[in-house]
Structure 1
Amino acid sequence: MSLPKRIVLIGPMGAGKSTIGRLLARELGYRFVDSDRLIEERCGANIPWIFDVEGEEGFRQREGAMLAELAEQEGVVVATGGGAVLKRDNHPHLKREAMVIYLKTSIEQQVERTRRDRNRPLLQNDDPEAVLRHLFSERDPLYNELADVVMFTDRKSPRLVVRQLINRISPKTPRHRRQVRKEGHKHA
């Protein structure tokens, strides 16, 4: 089985897309791209500022353009923003010649992982848990619809999640091949 041209990580905020994405890319010998960070770099502004100035719709337009651009790249693991699945126009960009992995986590884990993060404009209110529950009910069906693989991340270390994903993607990763070659030289 050959590796997919691209791996796209989808899921809610706090699911571990960036952390797991970095580790997964290293394991596969791919480049890692966080679409939200790339948008910030290109704009010269952080996401809360973009939301303040352009609104969520302005941000979603930037996000769609970024996903279209990333859909042309190969050998990359892409961590998307939690709302990337909302616009149906993004779906072909997420799926094109890619394996889409839904990193699924509980609301409780999301609350724990995002409670101190001020870079999440949708959670800057009095009841972030209620917001997370609403977002989950709206987005979970879309995540499931797009996903080739669903991986639960609750109470798992990022390294364990990556090992489990590698086994689902392909046990013959570049690192695996290097290890086999090293072991082969030892026995020669």
Structure 2
Amino acid sequence: MSVQSAKPEEATMPTTPASLGNVRRIVLTGFMGAGKSTIGRELAARLGWKFLDLDHHLEQRTQATIPELFERHGEPHFRRLESAALVSTLALTDTVIALGGGTPEIHTNRLLIEQAPGTLTIFLDAPFPVLFDRCVLQALNPGATDRPVLKDPVLAESRFRLRQPLYRRLARLTQPTEDQTPAETVTAILERLPK
């Protein structure tokens, strides 16, 4: 399983998992570019927990990249593989899990997340233009992952509008990220976690 140990930053003291009440795992959701992986790694480090990116976990399970899975099998098959990968991650404890942007589109996935005891779901929220710009900037980095949904900006915005209410309904907490650095977002989340 592709769970990474997150190393706490030297300047921050980890919050002990015992201080989170019944929370055994935190699931981050939101559209691509929301910062799920970046914020998830830092949040896990500050908690002294592990971090798991569902897309990377799925790539390791299938020995193929997300764009390859889309191209070879189409989105419906990809979503079935993603659901199977999700099931395996929801048994983990003391773990921050970053979902793929489309994971909550599937009703079964939403039910799995909602019914997994000890799961706290957080929606990382920002407006579409901000998220799109972040993704375009990320795509310029060497080794960046190709994002099939971004090939058509109009379709991407349509997907965003479809998914946003699903993210809101699924989440117990909504954290705006538009005007915050990842570190500021993590601090804001930590302040809002159950004690």
Q: Identify the TM-score tier after normalising by the shorter chain.
A: 0.7 to 0.9
- Scaled by the length of structure 1, the TM-score of the pair is 0.85
Contact 1:48/1:120 (CA < 8 Å) preserved in 2?
Answer: yes
Range moving further from structure 2, 108-117 or 141-150: 108-117
CA distance in 2, matches of 1:21, 1:93: 20
Q: 2:120 aligns with which of 87, 96, 99?
A: 99
* Structure 1 position 63 matched with structure 2 position 96: no
Q: After the TM superposition, which residues 167-178 of structure 1 pair with which residues of structure 2 at under 5 Å, given as runs?
A: 167-170=191-194
**Match in the other structure for 2:13:** none
- Per-residue CA distance 1:139-169 (angstroms, 9 max, x = gap): 1111111110000100210000000000011
SS of equivalent to 2:87: helix
Aligned residue number for residue 150 of structure 2 = 123
Q: Considering fraction of residues, name the structure with more helix.
A: 1
Encode CA deviations 1:46-66: one digit per residue, 9 max, x unaligned: 110100001001110111001
Q: Look up the match of 1:149.
A: 173
DSSP 3-state at the match of 2:122: strand
One-letter identity of the residue aligned with 1:154: E
Matched residue of 2:180: which SS?
A: coil
Q: Quote the Cα distance in structure 2 between the aligned partners of 1:65 and 1:80.
A: 13
Find the residue that maps to 1:14 and give its secondary structure.
coil
Q: Which one is further off, 85-94 or 8-17?
A: 85-94
Given that 1:3 and 1:169 are in contact with CA atoms closer than 8 Å, whether structure 2 keeps it comes out as no
- Out of 43, 68, 71, the residue aligned to residue 24 of structure 1 is 43
Partner of 1:108: 129
How many angstroms does 1:132 deviate by?
2.9
Deviating above 2 A after TM superposition, structure 1's stretches of 4 or more consecutive aligned residues are none
Write the letter of the residue equivalent to 1:61. R
Q: Distance in 2 between matches of 1:170 and 1:45?
A: 38
2:162 maps to a residue whose letter is: E
- Gaps (5+ residues) in structure 1? 172-188
Structure 2: distance between partners of 1:133 and 1:37? 24
Aligned twin of 1:81 = 100
- Equivalent residue number for residue 51 of structure 1: 70
Q: Where does residue 137 of structure 1 map in the other structure?
A: 161
SS of alignment partner, residue 144 of structure 1: helix
> Which secondary structure does the structure 2 equivalent of 1:164 belong to?
helix
Q: Deviation per CA, 1:98-119: give whole Å up to 9, x if none.
A: 0000001111111111115252
Q: Percent identity?
A: 35
Query: In the aligned structure 1, how far is the partner of 2:22 from the partner of 2:127?
Result: 29
SS at match of 1:8: strand
Partner SS for 1:45: coil
Q: Which residue is equivalent to 1:186?
A: none
